[in-house]
Amino acid sequence: MKITPETYEKMNKEFEKEGLAFQIKVPTQEEIDKWQEESQKAPYIEMPPSRDLVQEMWEKIGVYTDEEKEEYKNKTHIDRLNKITN
């Protein structure tokens, strides 16, 4: 699909039709072509490796298996109940 100034004009009409309170500046065809050319030259940025922050928390307290997690949850729940009733 070729992006043209008309593309932006159509988007602005859609925004207006949907009642959105903003408009996009309509660039010239030269600006669009320059942006597309520059974006093709841009280096690819690789996503950093994902982290499981909850698992990291469990590992910090020394809990690794699902069974250990359940045991830990039950123990802390019982400890909290004991504090409330005493």
Domain map (residue ranges) of the chain = 5-41, 53-85
Interatomic CA distance for residues 41 and 71, integer angstroms: 54
For residue 23, what are its two tokens? 């408009």
Region 28-37: mean pLDDT is: 96
Give 25's contacts (C-beta < 8 A, 6+ positions apart): 8
Give 4's contacts (C-beta < 8 A, 6+ positions apart): 29, 32
Alpha helices per DSSP H over 1-86: 5-17, 29-41, 53-60, 66-85
- pLDDT tens profile 38-63: 998 988 888 888 999 988 998 898 88
Using a pLDDT cut of 90, give the percent of the chain over it. Answer: 49
